[in-house]
Amino acid sequence: AQKVTQAQTEISVVEKEDVTLDCVYETRDTTYYLFWYKQPPSGELVFLIRRNSFDEQNEISGRYSWNFQKSTSSFNFTITASQVVDSAVYFCALSGKETSGSRLTFGEGTQLTVNP
């Protein structure tokens, strides 16, 4: 069975602070894919990043960065110099090649609030 755990239910920061959202996953697949989505109050899930299990290189996109560590089964997401517009629910998700195909297993999400 696959599982994604986002232990932080809610995080509140002040604008310009850095914040890290944790994601820990479980899978028996040897090939798998990890995703992060952002859900602002409007409701739409916005795709942020996709990473496959063979690529452990960390990635940076503007103020966003992702740290993938297979040794600890973690795929953490950091926002640098947070802004009010970053306030949203963030979901980590997993799909496994052998067991689930395109089916995504989502974590329960982390509500991030960035205060001015």
- 65-86 exposure pattern, b = at least 16 Cβ within 10 A, e = fewer: bbbbeeeebbbbbbbeebeeeb
Q: What is the rounded distance in angstroms from the CA atom of residue 24 to the CA atom of residue 10?
A: 16
CB of 69 vs another protein, minimal distance in Å: 19
Is 15 or 47 the residue whose CB approaches another protein more closely?
Answer: 47
22 three-class SS: coil
CB of 28 vs another protein, minimal distance in Å: 13
CB of 18 vs another protein, minimal distance in Å: 27
Is 28 or 103 the residue whose CB approaches another protein more closely?
Answer: 103
Binding site for another protein (CB under 8 A): 29, 31-33, 35, 37, 42-47, 50, 52, 91, 95-98, 100-104, 106-109
